[in-house]
Amino acid sequence: MVDFSQLRRHRATALTILAVAALYYATARLGLLQQLVRGQVTPLWPPTGIAVAALLLFGVRVWPGIAVGALAVNIFIGPSVPSVVAIVVGNTLAPICSYLLLTRAGFRNDLDRLQDALALVFLGALAPMLISATIGSSTLVLSGALPARGFWPTWSVWWTGDAMGVLIVTPFLLVVRWARWPPAVGPLIWAEAAALAACTLSVTYLATNASSSSLLFLVFPFLIWASFRFERAGAAPCALGISTLAIIASGRMTGPFAHHDLLTNMVTLQAFNGTVSLTALLLTAIVTERNRTHEEIERLCAQLSDAVAHQNDGRRRGAPPDV
């Protein structure tokens, strides 16, 4: 007897895998517009963020979609078939390792706790992406596509790109997942949101095109503004916009990224974008926890007030009449 429910589950899983592969490939083509090394290594690799988000949302069963997407991207730009296979293995293992570490740490996709923010930064982005960067850079050197002296610059760009993909894209996708159009938001809130977006992008553009790197610190007040006023829904898009403009500047080697070698620029970019992402994640987690605690206190106070009122009503009904 045919189990139609099982067939539907298999079909849904297959469609999810195909969707992950298609998104991986499409965002990879966008990421390659900022390639810095050999036409395939970029300081922002959005597919890694999509891969980690897909694993967190749908489970490890969607890993073939990551592998297929990585294969479709690298088959045309890899130096040889064995090298492409090795790179695909590294690009698939890193998100899976990220997923396993986050799951073991009790990560929650809502990103509403401080421990979730810290876990995403260190267990989801920085540590696991060492795998893909090391395998990919070593493969390019061993295949002869890169000289040995190019290992560390390539490794730094590769690690930066994969880690930034997780730090920037994954939180944004997790936020978009539960985002809903607000039912009753006044025009003042919309005006404030528009002002926040305009100010954030304008100041970031000026800071990433100025010669002094100290101006990069001007973006953090806007991250604080977004975190306190709009929480995750505001901080995640702001962090995405800031980091994207910084990556574009580093790719063009303009502003604070001018007159430096590739390795120095990648260290600067990783430090800046990592600080931006960490600030946004930690502040929103703290604000969300504070608001949740405040709501819980209000709920308990309301319950206590109702209990006291009920008890007083009972006493009045049971009291003897006045003489």
pLDDT surpassing 70 at residue 160: yes
Mean pLDDT of 152-172: 87
Distance CA 24, CA 13 (A): 16
Distance CA 319, CA 16 (A): 67
Tokens of 6: 């099982």
Mean pLDDT of 96-112: 92
pLDDT digits (tens, 9 = 90+) for 105-148: 999 988 878 888 889 989 999 899 999 999 999 999 998 888 88
Cβ-contact 24, 50 below 8 angstroms: yes
User: What's the pTM value of the predicted model, to 2 decimals?
Assistant: 0.80
pLDDT, residue 22, reads 95
pLDDT digits (tens, 9 = 90+) for 244-294: 888 888 778 888 888 777 777 777 887 888 888 888 888 888 888 888 888
Mean pLDDT of 44-61: 93
Total count of residues recorded for the chain: 323
Q: What is the mean pLDDT of the chain?
A: 85
pLDDT, residue 249, reads 86
pLDDT digits (tens, 9 = 90+) for 214-236: 788 899 999 999 988 888 888 88
pLDDT surpassing 50 at residue 320: yes
pLDDT, residue 39, reads 55
pLDDT surpassing 60 at residue 321: no
| R_g (Cα) of the chain, nearest Å | 24
Mean pLDDT of 175-184: 65
pLDDT, residue 205, reads 92
A 10 A CB-CB count for 151 gives 16
Mean pLDDT of 62-80: 90
Better-predicted residue by pLDDT, 132 or 178: 132
pLDDT surpassing 60 at residue 323: no
Tokens of 202: 């304008």
Distance CA 295, CA 112 (A): 14
pLDDT digits (tens, 9 = 90+) for 11-25: 888 999 999 999 999
